[in-house]
Each structure stands twice: as C-alpha cells, then as structure tokens.
Amino acid sequence: MNAAAELPLVHARGLIKRFDDLVAVDGIDFDVQKGEAFGFLGPNGAGKSSTMRMIGCVSPPSGGTLRVLGLDPVKNGADIRAQLGVVPQEDTLDLELTVRENMLIYGRYFGLGRKVVHERAERLLEFVQLEERLDSKVEPLSGGMKRRLTIARSLINEPDILLLDEPTTGLDPQARHVVWDRLHELKHRGATLLLTTHYMDEAEQLCDRLVVMDKGKIAAEGSPVELIRRYSTREVVELRFAAERPPDDLAARIDGLARRVETLSGRLLLYTDDGDRTAERVHELGVQAQSTLVRRSTLEDVFLHLTGRTLVDE
C-alpha cells in the first residue's frame, strides 16, 4: 500500500489464534497505517473478534508476529492498552454508575488525574450528544445511547488507535446513522480506526481499506472500490422468485447473458457491466421472475464471489 517510511501502527504476520482444537485465526497478515480506517469484514465466526482481542492485548496470540504501536502485546500489554480505545462488541458499561461517572472512573483506570478526566468527560459526552443525560444511570439509556457512551468512554485516554468491534450491531437504522456520523467525524480529525463488521454498508461507509475474512483467513484486501472492481462487476441484476429455488433449467437458459451467475435461496444474481441491458435480455427470454432489480455491486457481492456464501445468514 503505502510505502512511506512510517512504521505501521499495527503489524501482523502469520498471526494465529487457537482455542483448544478450534483455529479461530489462521495465519493472517496485515498492516494498519496511522490515520487509516481499517476494517475486518466477514460473517460471524470468521475470526474478526479474536483478531481484535489480540490487538487489544486481552488475548495472547497462539502464533505468528503481532506488533501494536511497535510493541509486543504479550510483553507490553499494559503499555499498549494505555494507548488504545476499545469499543467492545457487547456493552460493558458500568451499570452501578451514572453516565458521567462511567467516564470519570474509566479515566481513573488509565491513571488520569481527576481534573483532566472531568474536563474530557464533559467534552466527549457533548461530542456523542449525551450532555443531557450526564447524571442518568446507564440502564435506562437506549441501545444507541449506550453505544455512544461506550465510544465516548473509549476516547477518554485520547487513544492512538480506536478498536471498534461490530460498532453498530443490534442498533436500529437511525441509531446506526448517528454512530456512523460520530465515527466519520473522528476520521476527519485524523483518528486511526480499526473496526470489524459483518455489514457491507458499514464497511463501505467507514473503511479506507479492509480485509475480507472467512474461516480465520484473509480472502482479499483493498479499498471497497478496488475490491468491487477486482472481484465483481459494475452492476448486478437480481431476479427474485416466489419459490425457495429458482426453476432448475433457468441457469442454463440465461447462461451467456451475464459474466457470472450466483444462485441463492429464492433469487438469482447476474453479474454484468450493463444491468439494464441484461435485464432486458432476460425479459426477452420470457423468464418469469416475481421481480427484477438492477443495482450497483457491493462488498456483499465481493464476499459472495470469494466464498460462495452471503455475509449475513439467510
């Protein structure tokens, strides 16, 4: 990627994580540069969270090399963690404390002085638009508010790297957009973001560069646009059918109309450079689809092409 002399903030070579017989992360290589928004895209169980936990120094690697901020997580875990901001997949907010206290106490874990923590807490809670809930307990907050509080909390030590594990999983669409908006703002300020997601729209929105993970391995790497260009066509024609499986002979009939055809439950995807024209020709063949949709290629298509499966279980 970037041949600049600067050392990567995170550097992994042949990184492995094993749990008893299960290989969660199976020898992956990647580098994350300063100021980048770097994503791990893949379905549940691809090894994304395990990778994140190793970078966060809360899970020792089983093999390979890992350097975070130039340091070894096994030897310098506490020093590295002092420079990280962590937004875990599951909320781990302190239910016995108020919103403000969550910030103050978390800051104290980093050994920050009371005055500094107070000042930062006010500023960060304003940043995530929680300034009106300062003295509220955590429990009654909505899912989106809890997420935003977790993000504010992760920034209390002014981290060099922000680790976000599935930052918007479980949120309703509106709450997701608020979170994305805040993360965009952080990006503009030059923060280095590392995030995992199984939402292709989240990856497209936020990531400058990403790796597609499947079964503990990296299947592809690049920017969203590059990946789509490399592994998919410009457009896709989706034929939807009422039945679970499209008619058996259909694939043979439309063969040659598209560069590639994928058969999924209840739908057929035709990969083509000119969606409208392909849709027209399908229509001319007299194919009886319930509906036809022409759309742009997404990372979902990239994943499908690379693994033969969809990102979110159907």
Partner 1 sequence: MTTIALPRGAALFERNARAHRSHFLIIFSGFFEPLFYLLSMGVGLGHFVGKVPGPNGELISYASFIAPALLATAAMNGAIYDSSSVFWKMKYMKLYDSVLSTPLGPIDVAVGETSWALFRGLLYAIAFLTTVSVLGHVHSAWAVLALPAALLVGFAFAGMGIAGATFMRTWQDFEFLNLVQLPMFLFSATFYPLSVYPGWLQVVVRCTPLYNAISLIRGLMLGVVGWYQLVNVLYLLLFGAIGVRIAERRVGKLLLR
Q: Where are the beta strands (DSSP E) in 33-160?
A: 37-41, 63-68, 84-87
Residue 170 touches partner 1, criterion: CB under 8 A: no
User: 32 or 54: whose CB is closer to partner 1?
Assistant: 54
- 247: left (phi > 0), else alpha (psi -120 to 50), else beta? beta
Q: For partner 1, which stretch binds (CB under 8 A), given 90-98, 209-217, 259-267, 295-303? A: 90-98
Least spacing, CB of residue 265 vs partner 1, in Å: 35
Out of 33, 45, 105, 160, the only residue in the binding site for partner 1 (CB under 8 A) is 105
Tell me, what amino acid is at 226? E
Helix-helix angle 114-127:99-109, to 10 degrees: 130
Out of 29, 72, 79, 122, the only residue in the binding site for partner 1 (CB under 8 A) is 79
Residue 306 touches partner 1, criterion: CB under 8 A: no
State the DSSP string of 249-311. THHHHHTTSSSEEEEETTEEEEEES-HHHHHHHHHHTT---SEEEEEE--HHHHHHHHHSS-S
The dihedral built from the CA positions of residue 266, 269, 274 and 279, taken in this order, carries a sign that is: negative
Out of 111, 173, 190, 308, the only residue in the binding site for partner 1 (CB under 8 A) is 111
Tell me the CA distances in angstroms from 121 to 95, 126, 156, 158, 240, one per residue in order.
17, 8, 7, 11, 50
Least spacing, CB of residue 195 vs partner 1, in Å: 15
Least spacing, CB of residue 157 vs partner 1, in Å: 8
Least spacing, CB of residue 110 vs partner 1, in Å: 6
Residue 182 touches partner 1, criterion: CB under 8 A: no
Least spacing, CB of residue 78 vs partner 1, in Å: 4
Residue 19 touches partner 1, criterion: CB under 8 A: yes
Residues numbered 30-69 forming contacts with partner 1, rule: CB under 8 A: 56, 58-60
CA–CA separation, 210 and 187 (whole Å): 15
Question: Apex CA 196: angle with CA 189 and CA 45, to 5°?
Answer: 175
Least spacing, CB of residue 146 vs partner 1, in Å: 13
Chain contacts with partner 1 (rule: CB under 8 A): 19, 56, 58-60, 77-79, 81-82, 84, 86, 88, 90-97, 101, 105-106, 108-111, 157
